Chains A and B, each alone.
Chain A
Amino acid sequence: MAIARVRLPPNIKKGDVVEVKTLVTHPMESGQRKDANGQIIPRKILNKFVCAYNGREVFRAELWPAISANPFITFFLVAGDSGSLKFTWTDDDGSTIEHSEEIHVA
């Protein structure tokens, strides 16, 4: 399963600085651990996080093996027009977890 959750504050007005909270499920296997047979468990983490606001990239983060499982990322953006926020997490194997959230600006 990959569940992504996003929360925006209620009653956003144009020009507000908005805190965006995101949470996604991922094991974030660091590549440092060994299994019961002493074999290294290969690294498998989300290495990139991007947020696009109405198609325009507004936030980007690079993630590294020290980030814990189920990364919780919060950031701020300035509310412009109503529209959609698209969140993309990119895995080491190239697959992505995507989530979109409507943003209503009064």
Chain B
Amino acid sequence: MIQTRVWTIAAAALAVVCAADAADLPTPKIPLPADGSAGSYKTEPVTKSEYKDKKSAYAYLAPETKAMQDDDFSNPASLWLDEGDKLWTKVEGGAGKSCGSCHGAAANLRGVGNTYPKISKDTGKLATIEDQINYCRTERMKAPALKLETQDMVALSMFVMFQSRGLPMSVAVDGAAKPYFDAGKTLYYTRRGQLNLACNQCHEDHAGGMLRADPLSGGYSNGFPLYRLAWQKAGSFDFRMQQCYAQVRATPEPFGSEELKKLQLYVAWRSNGLPVETPAVRR
């Protein structure tokens, strides 16, 4: 009788321990919209409930780095924004125009950056913000295209994206974007490099876990172009991707390649609903 009771208590204790273990484990998968939809276009700032399941990489930052991002002055990317602001009104090219000549105040572009990458109305192809800037420069301003990842290009694209800060990412992946999206999704789940790793193995299966001393994010692009402390400068999504490729010891794709654009579309779609944080600060 006594022995039975002891066993019962032991079993109960074990059950409690198991339950606690299960509760402590991080959720392995990041929930994504099940229907594959892009979500509706919105211009109102997102409420917390809309992205409660997705966690921006901001959540994993150290308090000091969060403070750096939150304060517009100490955010080092503000230097790029200043530069972008100047470039916005700088007249260049044969047409004697600046960005502002057509678009007016930069604030008019609120709600534009958060929909990129998207199918360009002008070319019918998938375009990133950088592509669209260069299209405007060459076609409308008759000015030379800006080289990708140069300071000017990062500054201008960051400045455009910054106008949408606080709005939810709203990338459309239906219609003409569908083939690009499917290709991007395949790329995300494709193993590559000498380490034979796919994006999802770190940024989905182990999101929130640690890679040595660094927490792994969920694979969202709501902060780009961003300032990375390790780079000591601001860089775009493509710059970050090149490093990811190198980290799994794969051959990095060149800036602006079709592959990176497709990947960017997929990753931006994953981020749908998260507020735009540009210019974000990351480690």
Interface residues on A, range: 10 to 19
Contact, CB under 8 Å: B82 / A5: yes
Most buried by A among B79, B83, B232: B79
- Least Cβ distance of A68 to chain B in Å? 6
Q: Which of B74, B83, B232 contacts A72 (CB 8 A)?
A: B74
Contact, CB under 8 Å: B232 / A3: no
Q: Which A1-16 residues sit within 8 Å CB-CB of chain B?
A: 1, 3, 5, 7
Chain A residue with Cβ nearest B233: A69
Contact, CB under 8 Å: B73 / A3: no
Q: Give the number of residues in B that approach A within 8 Å (Cβ atoms).
A: 11
Q: Which B54-104 residues sit within 8 Å CB-CB of chain A?
A: 73-74, 76, 78-79, 82-83
Contact, CB under 8 Å: A3 / B82: yes
A67 to B116, CA, bound (A): 36
B138 within 8 A of A: no
Q: Which of A7, A21, A70 contacts B76 (CB 8 A)?
A: A70
Contact, CB under 8 Å: A72 / B76: yes
With A3-B82, A5-B79, A25-B79 given, is the CB distance from A68 to B232 under 8 Å? Answer: yes
Q: Which A44-77 residues sit within 8 Å CB-CB of chain B?
A: 68-70, 72
Q: 13 A-B contacts, Cβ less than 8 Å apart?
A: A1-B151, A3-B79, A5-B73, A5-B79, A23-B73, A23-B76, A23-B78, A23-B79, A25-B79, A68-B232, A69-B232, A70-B76, A72-B74
**Per-position binary interface string of chain B over residues 125-168, scored 1 when its CB falls under 8 Å from any chain A CB and 0 otherwise:** 00000000000000000000000000100000000000000000
Q: Which residues of B contact A1 (CB under 8 A)?
A: 83, 151
Listed in ascending order, the chain A residues whose CB lies under 8 Å from chain B are: 1, 3, 5, 7, 21, 23, 25, 27-28, 68-70, 72
Q: Which residues of A contact B233 (CB under 8 A)?
A: 69
Q: Which residues of A contact B74 (CB under 8 A)?
A: 21, 23, 72
A27 to B76, CA, bound (A): 12
Q: Which residues of B contact A27 (CB under 8 A)?
A: 232
Q: Which residues of B contact A69 (CB under 8 A)?
A: 232-233
A65 to B233, CA, bound (A): 16
Contact, CB under 8 Å: B79 / A70: yes
A5 to B151, CA, bound (A): 18
- Least Cβ distance of A4 to chain B in Å? 9
Contact, CB under 8 Å: B83 / A7: no
Chain B residue with Cβ nearest A74: B74
A1 to B79, CA, bound (A): 10
A68 to B233, CA, bound (A): 10
Chain B residue with Cβ nearest A71: B76
